[in-house]
Amino acid sequence: MVIEDPEDYEARGIDDQYFFGRDLLVCPLTLEDGDSREVYLPAGLWYGFFDGQPYEGGRRFSVQAKEEEIPVFVRDGAIVPMAEPVLCVREDTVFEMTIRSYGRKEGAYTLYEDDFTSFQYENEGMKEIEIRRGGDGKIEIAGGENSLRYRFRI
């Protein structure tokens, strides 16, 4: 956690929760925790990944968790593309993507597309698909209309 925000002194002593990317904070449960645990959220507004409940950061608090849903929190303004599960990934796999956005702030996310089999992206780069959420809450996807790998649902 301290790598994401080195100025947050509270985060320096926390070793049982971690960032997954910049906007997802994962707080795993142990057998000792049972179905609840204390979490620390950095400053700002956060949302529960599964229920969308808002939390004001900059403090510690106790959360209840379901057995199948560990506590995960999402930063205000984050965009999280979610792919439907597939049994295996082949050259012709197309991922059905649902775009989830959290909060009220504007946000952006870049999804990269390559052929999944070669290193061609090193020379030519990868196709970029820009996903944006405006202040009005509307999701816009630029570059995804002719994607060979992703089909989007909002």
Indicate which CATH number applies to the domain containing 30: 2.60.40.1180
Identify whether residues 69 and 84 lie together within a single domain.
Answer: no
Angstrom distances, CA of residue 62 to CA of 8, 35, 55, 59: 20, 10, 11, 10
pLDDT of 98 reads 95
Burial (CB count within 10 angstroms: exposed 0-12, middle 13-18, buried 19+), residue 25: buried
**In this structure, are 41 and 59 located in the same domain?**
yes
Q: Same structural domain for residues 142 and 85? A: yes
User: What is residue 58's predicted lDDT score, i.e. its pLDDT?
Assistant: 94
Measured in whole angstroms, the distance separating CA 151 from the mean position of its chain's CA atoms is: 19
Q: What was the pLDDT predicted at 152?
A: 92
Are residues 130 and 93 located together in one domain of the fold? yes
- Count of domains in the chain? 2
Do 16 and 41 share a domain, yes or no?
A: yes
- pLDDT at position 31: 75
Residue 35 is predicted with a pLDDT of 86
The pLDDT assigned to 28 comes to 92
Domain end call among 17, 42, 75: 75
Is the domain of 123 the same as that of 92? yes
What is the mean pLDDT for each group of 10 consecutive residues in the chain (154 residues)?
87 92 92 86 96 95 87 96 93 91 91 77 78 90 87 85
Residue 1 lies in a domain: no
Kindly state whether residues 89 and 68 are assigned to the same domain. no
Domain hosting residue 104, numbered range: 79-153
